[in-house]
Amino acid sequence: MLKKSRFVSFLALFLVLISVAGLCSCGGGSLQVGESSGSSPDTAEPTETTPVSQTVTEDPTKSTLLPTESGPSSSEEPTPPVDPTTPEDPTTPVVPLETEEVSAKSVKHVFTHCLINDPQKGCSYAGAPLDADCLTVTEFRRLLESLYENGYCLININDMYVVDANGKARLADTVTVNKGKKPLVISIDDVTYDPRKKGSGMVDRLVIENGTIMGCYDNADGSTTLTDGEVFPIVEAFVKEHPDFSYNGNKVTLALTGFAGILGYRTDESYEGQYDVAEERRKAKEVVDWLKENGYNFACHTYSHANYTTCSDSRVREDLEKWDRNVKPLIGETRVLVYPYGAFTYQDTNKHNALLQAGYVVFCGTSQLNTLWDGSQPKQDGGAAKNTGTIYLERFTVTGATLRPYASLRNFVEYYTSFYKDLGYDEESAKKKAEDRAANDTYGYEATRENTLIYYKPEQIYDTENRYYKIYTDEV
């Protein structure tokens, strides 16, 4: 009987020891009133977190997503919440596609300006005529769709030419495109966002947000608004949806001036004392670097948006020097110069030689006729052009002013009737000249419309709904 009692006692003691050991292996320690062992997620107190779904780290091109208050317990790896404003992939994916070589002479080049983000403001702005020089967001989107439907493919303008050891340029024999596509260059002039145009319906600057590019404008109450209603976010979205619209991830060319800074930042030396120019340059460089990494390239649109044909030789040299001081350190070297107003400098002149000495070998105009001179430019006296080791490209203009008249013959005649009346012609004479121009002029309706149809159908691009014309209010 005694042996049986001792056995029961030892068995009880053994079970107690096992229970104590089990508690120690589960984390041990005594639990105070009100604490939880953490074994039940239903009764655990939530971990206190800052109620912020997104914050920007020191590298503003990357975002850190924080768990929300109702997120997983601290013992688990937090799963970042999905932010609907954050793209799944902040960079445009480059899809490997079958390619082919085509003649570089087949490249087409179209250009426009930064977009009217708010048509009601932009088309009634008392300053620069944005409705004439710019497209609306809707028109630019339609333009890309039409170019895509016509089989075009974006290439880099710098792939069009080669430069020899002596600095002489010639057109490349071929350029590479996605198979079955036609090569296209798109350039955007005046990506400056001059502060004098604040409130005009355009964005005020470009920013990198959540790893992608956005337009940003300042509100009257001091707040800012981000928008995708600008060329570059639209191009990003379009190429992501249609990868074959871009060869090797190439996008568009930004033609910059420098007198008011670049990309909406006051980077010019003239702003010293008004802005922290060093900080403005840092912010601008951040955007430049993103653009370069994502298939964009840069051209010089002169420093001061100058018409070099009316400038003195010394003024041209001074303009180029200011570009080198204020813009070149931010974007790097470019061999492409885009003439403001399409006003090209003739060869064998001091002005043109200054451009050659500055390293420019590709010059772009604004003619509606897509001509291309390889290795030469016209002489001022009208004589035969000689090989100067430069390339001249005309660009096809796509603006409100070109869309409006070429959307229909009626619009063309009305547009130029008003044009000639402004020059002093009476109503009858003005209309006669407009009709003659439509029928016979090199830049007339038939000739220009035929060239236009290479790219798009104006009546399908023109944004009647969002254009608030002061003079022309009838629908197309």
pLDDT (0 to 100) of residue 379: 54
Tell me which long-range contacts 55-63 makes (C-beta under 8 A, separation of at least 24).
Answer: 60/208, 60/209, 60/286, 61/90, 61/208, 61/211, 61/286, 61/290, 62/211, 63/210, 63/211
CA-CA-CA-CA dihedral for 185, 263, 400, 229, to nearest 10: 90
CA–CA distance, 48 with 35 (Å, rounded to integer) = 16
Q: Considering only the top CATH level, what class is 99-398?
A: alpha beta
pLDDT (0 to 100) of residue 408: 84
pLDDT (0 to 100) of residue 370: 55
pLDDT (0 to 100) of residue 302: 98
pLDDT (0 to 100) of residue 455: 84
Decide if 388 contacts 376 (C-beta within 8 A): yes
pLDDT (0 to 100) of residue 371: 58
Q: Tell me where in the chain the CATH 3.20.20.370 domain(s) lie.
A: 99-398
pLDDT, tens digit, 9 for 90 and up, residues 100-117? 999 999 999 999 999 999
Both structure tokens of 297: 């390239």
Residue with tokens 């802005």: 275
pLDDT (0 to 100) of residue 206: 99
pLDDT (0 to 100) of residue 305: 96
**pTM as predicted:** 0.75
pLDDT (0 to 100) of residue 411: 84
pLDDT (0 to 100) of residue 223: 94
Q: Running along the chain, 476 residues long, what does each successive block of 10 average in pLDDT?
A: 47 47 40 31 32 32 30 34 44 73 93 91 66 90 96 97 90 96 97 91 96 95 95 98 98 98 98 97 99 98 95 96 98 97 81 93 79 59 62 88 85 88 94 90 79 85 69 35
Alpha helices in 196-349 (DSSP H): 231-241, 277-293, 313-326, 328-331
If you ran DSSP here, which 8-state letter would residue 379 be given?
A: B
SS3 content of the chain, % helix, strand, coil (to 5): 35, 20, 45
